[in-house]
Amino acid sequence: MMAASKTWAIVVGALAFAAAAAPAAAQIHTSELPRLTPETTFPRATARELNVAGFPDHMHEYHWVGWQTPVAPDGMAYGPGSLCENKAVLEVEGLVVETDEKRKGPFTLRHHPDYAACDMLPCLELLDWAGHTVPALLGLPLPGSLKVFNPDNVPHYTELTGQGTWRLYALEGDACTLQPFPVLESRTLAGHAAFMLVTDWLLSENIDQDLPPWLHQGIVEYIGEDGVHLVNYMVQFREEKAVLLSPPLIDALLSAGVDPDPDKDREMFRRACYSSFLMVWQLVENEGGLAALRQLLALAADGVSLDQAATEVYGMSLADLTVLLDPVRNGEPINDVMVSRRPHVQP
């Protein structure tokens, strides 16, 4: 009996040592995967890391202990924490604070006058953060000025846009109706919405020719790091059917506008967004990184046809590239798809 106990103790000790020596994969948080920057090495994560952590998501860190406000090369702070501190407005060059309007740089935010300044300035901080970040990622300049309107509540948002809350904003040219900022914050989607909106705006205003909807929306979702949330949304749709859509169906759905049936619109819009996200995930992570994507967008912005641009950058026609990225054919890079993750919880 003593010999058996001793043997068991040795086995347990060896297992404990091995566990301590091995990477703690179960502790990987989605925010701990590599950030998306122009210098990032791709792919950013192994299949094992994706299965543990989910897709990268760094859009919640500004709420966490230890957050540091970014500082531009000119020494000016930008993004969360740069305009308000402890509910007090900071003195910032170029910041204009009026009762129903806030302005900084290219962004103007209009809202109900009853909001206190630091109730709305965090929204402007997020837009400012995206405005400093997204142009470098895509290689596209800020196209001018963007006017954003914050509705009073969700019914007001729906009345103005005809959209449900699964569509985070309505962009038309250089004007946008944003889902109410307090609602986006309570849904932990405010950072995502800001980056998605600025990405959408840059693509729409810098490139005269129409990108395929899967590519346009896929870039919006990818730059907005919306992957974890999209996977979470898919859980309710997996019981009856496969959630992935082919590129022609993605394009048809995203081009059709809002479906009058809210339940159908929510399901099909989210499935189209997830499928387009997966296409651009594959495109960037495994087919040349951000450098190749920036080259493609630069050629498109210069008026080069997308088919020629795809051939120059990826060595194949746009049609062949689309087939290569088809999510129905490729499947999902995350195997443990039924796990609902909470990316907003600080690790």
How do residues 319-328 score in pLDDT, each as one tens digit? 999 999 999 9
Residue 215 binned pLDDT confidence (cut-offs 50, 70, 90)? very high
SS3 of the chain: the string is CHHHHHHHHHHHHHHHHHHHHCCCHHHCCHHHCCCCCCCCCCCCCCHHHHHHHCCCCCCCHHHCCCCCCCECCCCCECCCCCCEECCEECCCCCCEEECCEEEECCEEEECCCCCCHHHHHHHHHHHHHHHHHHHHHHCCCCCCCEEEECCCCHHHHHHHHCCCCCCCEEEECCEEEECCHHHHHHCCCHHHHHHHHHHHHHHHHHCCCCCCHHHHHHHHHHHCCCHHHHHHHHHHHCCCCCCCCCHHHHHHHHHHCCCCCHHHHHHHHHHHHHHHHHHHHHHHHHCCHHHHHHHHHHHHHCCCCHHHHHHHHHCCCHHHHHHHCCHHHHCCCCCCCCCCCCCCCCC
Question: What is the spatial order of strands in the sheet that 175-178 belongs to?
Answer: 96-98, 101-104, 107-110, 146-149, 175-178, 169-172
| Gap between the Cα atoms of 235 and 231, Å rounded | 7
Is 33 exposed, middle or buried, given 0-12, 13-18 or 19+ CB atoms closer than 10 A? buried
pLDDT of 318: 98
Q: How confident is the model at residue 340 (pLDDT cuts 50, 70, 90)?
A: confident
Handedness of CA 276, 258, 141, 194 (dihedral sign): negative
Measure Cα distances from 97 to 128, 144, 175, 252 in Å: 15, 20, 19, 42
Give one word for 46, left, alpha or beta, with left for phi > 0 and alpha for psi -120 to 50. beta
Q: Which residue has the higher pLDDT, 14 or 254?
A: 254
Q: What pLDDT score was predicted for residue 337?
A: 67
Contacts of 241 (CB under 8 A, 6+ apart): none
Share of the chain above pLDDT 90, in %: 86
User: Structure tokens of 334?
Assistant: 């995350």
Burial of 129 (0-12, 13-18, 19+ CB in 10 A): buried
pLDDT, tens digit, 9 for 90 and up, residues 76-109: 999 999 999 999 999 999 999 999 999 999 999 9
Give the model's confidence band at 38: pLDDT under 50 very low, under 70 low, under 90 confident, else very high: very high
pLDDT of residue 339: 75
Asked whether the beta carbons of 180 and 152 are under 8 A apart, the reply is yes
**Residue 26's pLDDT is what?**
54
pLDDT in tens, 286-314: 999 999 999 999 999 999 999 999 999 99
> CA 56, CA 66: separation in Å to the nearest integer?
19
Q: Which of 346, 347, 64, 340 is nearest to 229 (CA)?
A: 340
Domain map (residue ranges) of the chain: 28-56+210-347, 59-207
pLDDT classification of 239: cutoffs 50, 70, 90: confident
Altogether, the residues listed in the chain come to a count of 347
Which amino acid would we find at residue 153?
N
Q: Is the pLDDT of residue 126 over 80?
A: yes
Q: How far apart are CA 126 and CA 81, in angstroms?
A: 9
Q: Which CATH class is domain 59-207?
A: alpha beta
Q: Residue 336 — very low, low, confident or very high, per pLDDT cuts 50/70/90?
A: low
